A and B are shown apart, each in its own frame.
Chain A
Amino acid sequence: AQTVTQSQPEMSVQEAETVTLSCTYDTSESDYYLFWYKQPPSRQMILVIRQEAYKQQNATENRFSVNFQKAAKSFSLKISDSQLGDAAMYFCAYRSPLPDNYGQNFVFGPGTRLSVLP
């Protein structure tokens, strides 16, 4: 079974600065997908960025970018020019291309709570 680890339960960053959130995962699959989701206090989980394992190029979405190291099974999220609205819980997630017997193919990490200081 796949596992996702986020070693930083909490982090803080000064407004306008850059912060990197860590994520590592364990899998024996060669084809999979990785995601970062953001959950602000409003509760809704919002997709931040998606990476396909077969693509070597790191995904970017505006101020958000990832450092995907497939051999090291690492998938960190970099937030540039941090804004107050970036304060949230961030979940790293792994998705297998095929579900298990229970229809499950999404594994979430434990989350990192990011605070943005003015």
Chain B
Amino acid sequence: DTEVTQTPKHLVMGMTNKKSLKCEQHMGHRAMYWYKQKAKKPPELMFVYSYEKLSINESVPSRFSPECPNSSLLNLHLHALQPEDSALYLCASSQGVRGGYGYTFGSGTRLTVV
């Protein structure tokens, strides 16, 4: 298995909803990442989970909450989002945070906040 699987592919949610995005990989990668991508822009790092440690981009609002139940799964819990949070959310994994490994990306979740 050489894929990163993200579900759902599309999500529309109201500003008072609570939802979760799921990311799964079975490549034995030790690092997983959540990125946010606006249209025609490069991805922006939100969270890194590696070797059981979570690193957070300080600019990410608390309405985004990551969770790593095990080394193959990385969830992103969403609560009280704003319309400006509408974006493509990409999950990626890497063999490790050190070295020259590339990232394997999932196909993303297109999130629309109404």
A-side residues, CB < 8 A to B, are 32-33, 35, 37, 42-47, 50, 52, 89, 91, 95, 97-99, 101-106, 108-111, 113
Contact status B100-A45, CB under 8 Å: no
Kindly name the residue among B41, B42, B105, B108 whose own CB sees the greatest number of chain A CB atoms within 10 A.
Answer: B42
Query: Residues of B contacting A43 with CB < 8 Å?
Result: 88, 90, 107-108, 110
Contact status B42-A102, CB under 8 Å: no
Query: Residues of A contacting B58 with CB < 8 Å?
Result: 102
User: With contacts defined as CB atoms under 8 Å apart, how many contacts are there between chain A and chain B in the complex?
Assistant: 69
Query: Residues of B contacting A33 with CB < 8 Å?
Result: 100, 102
- For B, the interface residue count at a CB cutoff of 8 angstroms equals 29
Query: Residues of B contacting A91 with CB < 8 Å?
Result: 42
Contact status A102-B88, CB under 8 Å: no
Distance in Å from the Cβ of A66 to the closest Cβ of chain B?
A: 14
Contact status B100-A97, CB under 8 Å: yes
Distance in Å from the Cβ of B101 to the closest Cβ of chain A?
A: 8
B45 proximal to A (CB < 8 A): yes
